[in-house]
Amino acid sequence: MSPEEKSSKEQELQKEGLLTIHSAKEAEQPFLYSVGRYGSRFLEEMQKNKRFVGVRCPKCGKVYVPPREVCGPCFVKMEEEVEVGPRATLDTFTIIRFPYIDPETGDLRPVPFGYGFFKIDGSDTLFQHYFPIDDESKIKIGLKFEPIWREERTGSVRDIEQFVLVEE
């Protein structure tokens, strides 16, 4: 519904005695989310060296990317840093075609976009990112992808523009 349609619909409802209370357009809740030491190290390596690092569980050997402090299944603290990637295998994917509100901006997020779960070589967890969908028929589970790094990196997962198919 366009804003005009919405407003006329609401005037109609007001006549029927039913109101809708809207949150203020600019209403937002600001947050300063701590990345934590492990995550900060990962972002730093991406930003400075275009490199992925993970952490290996001393008990089960699982490699977590991005790294974190505790292996959930083993409930132990992890310390061993491991360099992984940068290539990755597409574990699963979808193409998002429905519009929805991005909670960070309050605006609709542009669709469609390719949304993939990548297993970065050497890691045992999945890493989410975008992939291009100019030729959808090419996208298959199990194919190799690689990251496209941005020139200007700020220390965020968005330092990677997207993952693209490795042409063999």
| Binds other proteins (CB under 8 A): choice among 86, 87, 89, 95 | 95
Q: Write out the binding residues for other proteins, residues 65-84 only, by CB under 8 A.
A: 66-73, 75, 77, 79, 81
Distance CA 16, CA 161 (A): 50
The CB-of-23 to other proteins minimum distance in angstroms stands at: 4
Phi, psi of 48, deg, nearest 5: -85, -40
Size of the site for other proteins (CB under 8 A): 70
Q: Write out the binding residues for other proteins, residues 107-166 only, by CB under 8 A.
A: 109, 115, 117, 125-130, 141, 155-158
The CB-of-27 to other proteins minimum distance in angstroms stands at: 7
Distance CA 24, CA 106 (A): 11
128 burial type by CB count under 10 A (0-12 exposed, 13-18 middle, 19+ buried):
exposed
The CB-of-66 to other proteins minimum distance in angstroms stands at: 6
Distance CA 168, CA 163 (A): 15
Three-state secondary structure call for residue 45: helix
Distance CA 66, CA 51 (A): 12
Question: Is there binding between residue 22 and other proteins (CB under 8 A)?
Answer: yes
Residue 115 is inside which H or E element, if any?
Answer: strand 113-120
Question: Is there binding between residue 52 and other proteins (CB under 8 A)?
Answer: no
Nearer to other proteins, 9 or 166 (CB): 9
HSE-CB of 68 using CA atoms within 13 angstroms: 13
Q: Write out the binding residues for other proteins, residues 26-45 only, by CB under 8 A.
A: 27-41, 43-44
Give contact residues for other proteins (rule: CB under 8 A): 13-14, 17-25, 27-41, 43-44, 55, 66-73, 75, 77, 79, 81, 91-98, 100-106, 109, 115, 117, 125-130, 141, 155-158
